[in-house]
Chains A and B, each alone.
Chain A
């Protein structure tokens, strides 16, 4: 009950934010959409990775399934984007259930390995098929839905927010239900779980399916938002890793950890990419723009966000194994 209230307050607060930032600040709104998307993706991953403890390294496959299915159906058949998104969910569900039903019968790290393999197979297939646009990707000039202005960022801000709120609500519902207890039991000890009557494969499949469906919706929204997709944007292993790191840094297996991780990492990555940090150092007079350090930072910092993610992850694993959210938890 308490968490449901916090989710509602979070939703209301976040829904009102654009009113204060305004349409004239599309750059900020754009970053906020990225934050919401990464929060939703990481929260969705958290259901299978955090609660069930089954690390998927291939969530880009479900994201890509949503993105590609949606755009292909609009591009080739001029279908309604909502039908595209629904079809994307079906494709993601099929990928999840086929992978899960093969791999969840096995013990050990097979799922983690298989998730990478499946995602790479899909990426390479999409790269080489013609109907997927191959290496060129798919570019969509115009999309319409119910007279909404899909050239504006606002619908996607609220779309991503809605998806995040749904994902958090599903997580909270699961956490309090038999399924959530069973997923956590599986994470903690599979032998103990199965000796207590838990059908391991069934519950893992269920968690993966829910996670995949939510992830594919994020992919559909992203595709409609950017209207240009290729494999490096929506099917890359890097995306899968970013989703995981966001959850780990925020706090795996907690409701708000992935949101916190996204709030921290996405703006940080953006600041690095746009050289904001280098510029700030120059402005503060700490580094001269023409000095060798200044030139080095200017040339290299923009490419460093993955490195910075890596460093933060190592620090988190060493000092905050329960993520940033773990800092605020009392130790029982």
Chain B
């Protein structure tokens, strides 16, 4: 598993800052494969798509 903000392994290092930042950011990396996702932010939400693992949304 990977941090969906910085893309580094979730079990390595400290991701508290990433967790805090994610309150005001959409995910950028797929947590399953670390691919950068295509992210679309709109006024009321966001969608993030991994070519391998599909789409997440707010």
Chain A bound to chain B: no
Binding site for A on B (CB under 8 A): none
Binding site for B on A (CB under 8 A): none
